[in-house]
Structure 1
Amino acid sequence: MIMEFLKCPHHTGNSITMKYITLISAIWLLTACSHKPQSEATVDSASPAVTANEAAPVALDAPADEKAFLSADAVPPGQPSPEKPSPEQKIIKTARIIYSVEDFAAAKKRVAGIVSQSGGYILAESQHGDGTEKRNQLDIKVPAAAFDSCVDRLTSGVTRLDEKSINAQDVTAEYVDLNARMTTRVATEQRYLEILKQARTVKDVLEVEAQLKSIREEIEAAKGRLLYMDRLVSYSTIHLEYYQVLALSMPEAPGFFSRAWLALRNGWNNVLGLMIDLMGWWPLMAVGVFLFIFIRRRWRKKQSLTTA
């Protein structure tokens, strides 16, 4: 029966068609198997791994503190933060010196030469004297680097040093704080300038300009203070006072003969001073003379009556 079915022409055509359909189906199945997707394990192994030293990317929508923590430069919690460079020290140095000299003119010339060689200058000078001494007071400005050497040279060779004091004032904290405040004010000024560009009404413009005026005054005051402190730091101050004894008002006059001569001069000055003081008492002296004459006349008159 089967043979008869194969021999039938009609069934023979159908058999050929089925063969073609079966062949096409087999080719399609082979093609589909060749394009099968890789397994999940294969994909994971092919993807690049993040190394331990590589920082994970920061999400754009992460909070600010989380971004700072995840960034490469951020310091993890519990770790010590890197030390910031310490600011330059601002030291204001002043000195006060008092001593006596034997030759006033030579001392004045010597001080001027030392100040000039130290790169400084005399800010103020006050000279005065009386019959017993001459005295000169100076305010000297010298570069901070030459301060110590200038003080040593001014006091070297002095026979009598009455006072020598040096003071150093550290203004670093005040300087840094003032500089930071000025920087903040400058940034605020820039923001107000941007706001001024966007102002539309006269009222807004006037309000912003008023704020700018106040901020600029603060900035100028801070700049002036910083410049003043820089000047004090870069140039130190020496208050110098020297004197020469002319009369024996003090026992430190040098030499026996010099002291004897000064004693004579001092005695004569005392006599002159006493006479001047007595002249100031002339009314009392006149009353005393009048009383003396009056009493003497009464006494003589009484004596003459007794003898008579």
Structure 2
Amino acid sequence: MKYITLISACWLLAACSHKPEPAATIAYEAPAIAKDQAAPAVLDAEGSLSDEKTASANEHSFQPAAEQKIIKTARIIYSVEDFAAAKKRVAGIVSKAGGYILAETQHGDGTEKRNQLDIKVPAAAFDSCVDRLTSGVSRLDEKSINSQDVTAEYVDLDARMKTRVATEQRYLDILKQARTVKEVLEVEAQLKSIREEIEAAKGRLQYMDRQVSYSTIHLEYYQVLALSAPEAPGFFPRVGLALRNGWNNILGLVIDAIGWWPLMVVAVFLFIFIRRRWRNRNKSLATA
């Protein structure tokens, strides 16, 4: 009994000494990014680097309203009583408005005199200049005003140009880091393409700025001199003029006919061929 009790005590001591311990809990916490640490850079569609924080800030930042870009044009046609006085009056109105005459075409015949002008005036003086040009006109044949809003196109083109400029600077930085001739040539090819796009965008923007700042007026005025073309005073001078015009008309017809000489030659050969066939046929019938 003593031995049994001793053996049981040893077994209990051994069991307690080999009792499994609970597994240690290992906690891992990902290192937080510091507030002042920049977010990882991402490559945008244009090939330039921009961080996610900046992209998000730009996306949600306030964008001021763009200035409206409107191109105004007008077309005016009217008749005048005194051609010389009308020409002087138009020049005075344009000069007073701060504009200038871009192009002028004057022509006429025996029945009327006509003057066609392309006028450029500051956009702020466009409406008042149009009103002064048409005021006091006895017969206004046409007056039309057209406004074209190019604000969206202007803003889009300006944004694209700025993106190209930023991309150009990025390629310049890459060019400084190029180590081989191949890398240099590749970067320079990209720079050439980007610079061409920048120059084209600048030219288009400058053109739209000029069109917006100076409006265009297409003006046409005329003076009717007579309902029919004056020819010559008196009966006999008019008869002589009619005979001369008739002779000139005949000469014109002859000259036009000479221009069709290939067809005339073909017609002559056909006529000769048909005539000979007709004669030969008549002879054969007569002999039969």
Task: Name the TM tier (shorter chain).
Answer: 0.5 to 0.7
1:122 paired residue among 89, 93, 101: 101
3-state SS of 1:280 partner? helix
In the alignment, structure 2 segments of 5+ residues that lack a partner are 1-33, 42-51, 252-288
Q: Residue 193 of structure 2: which of 208, 214, 238 is its match?
A: 214
User: Do residues 224 (structure 1) and 192 (structure 2) align?
Assistant: no
User: Is 1:201–2:188 an aligned residue pair?
Assistant: no
Q: Which has the larger radius of gyration?
A: 1
Alignment of 1:1-308 (within 5 A): 58=35, 84-249=63-228, 274-280=242-248
Instruction: Give me the whole-angstrom Cα distance separating, in 2, the residues matched to 1:268 and 1:204.
Output: 91
CA separation of 1:209/1:83 partners in 2, compared to 1, >3 Å: closer, same or farther?
A: closer
1:126-153, Cα deviation, whole Å (9 max, x unpaired): 0000011000000000000000000000
User: C-alpha deviations, 1:256-288, integer Å up to 9, x for none?
Assistant: xxxxxx8998x99986764444223568xxxxx
Change (3 A) 1:282 1:86: closer
Partners of 2:86 and 2:239 in 1: CA distance = 32
The 8 Å contact of residues 171 and 191 in structure 2, kept in 1 or not, is answered as: yes
Provide TM-score, normalisation by structure 1: 0.59
Name the amino acid aligned to 1:146: A
Distance 1:130 1:182 in 2: 52
Whole-Å Cα distance in 1 between the matches of residues 212 and 95 of structure 2?
19
Instruction: Say which SS state the counterpart of residue 86 (structure 1) adopts.
Output: coil
Change (3 A) 1:74 1:135: closer
Larger RCO, structures 1/2 (Cα 8 Å, 6+ apart):
2
- Change beyond 3 A, Cα 1:164–1:275: farther
Measure the CA separation in 1 of the matches of 2:247 and 2:205. 60
Once the two structures are superposed, residues 220-254 of structure 1 have per-residue CA deviations (whole angstroms, 9 ceiling, x without a partner) of: 1100000000000000000000001111159xxxx
Alpha-carbon distance between aligned partners in 1 of 2:78 and 2:237, rounded to the nearest angstrom: 25
Which residue of structure 2 lines up, in the alignment, with residue 41 of structure 1? Answer: none
Sequence identity (%): 77
* Inter-partner Cα distance in structure 2 for 1:139 and 1:204: 52
| Structure 2 CA distance for partners of 1:270 and 1:218, relative to 1, 3 Å | farther
CA distance in 2, matches of 1:273, 1:182: 67
Q: Residue by residue, what CA displacement relative to the aligned partner does 1:88-118 show, whole Å, maximum 9, x if unpaired?
A: 0000000000000111111000000000000
Amino acid at match of 2:225: L
SS at 2:219's partner residue? strand
CA 1:82–1:200 in 2, change beyond 3 Å: closer, same or farther? closer
Taking structure 2 as the reference length, the TM-score comes to: 0.63
State the superposition RMSD in angstroms: 3.3
- For 2:120, what is the secondary structure of its paired residue? strand
May I ask how many residue pairs the two structures share in their alignment? 205
2: distance between equivalents of 1:63 and 1:141?
53
Q: Is the 8 A contact 2:73 2:145 kept in 1?
A: yes
Whole-angstrom CA distance in 2 between matches of 1:172 and 1:134: 41
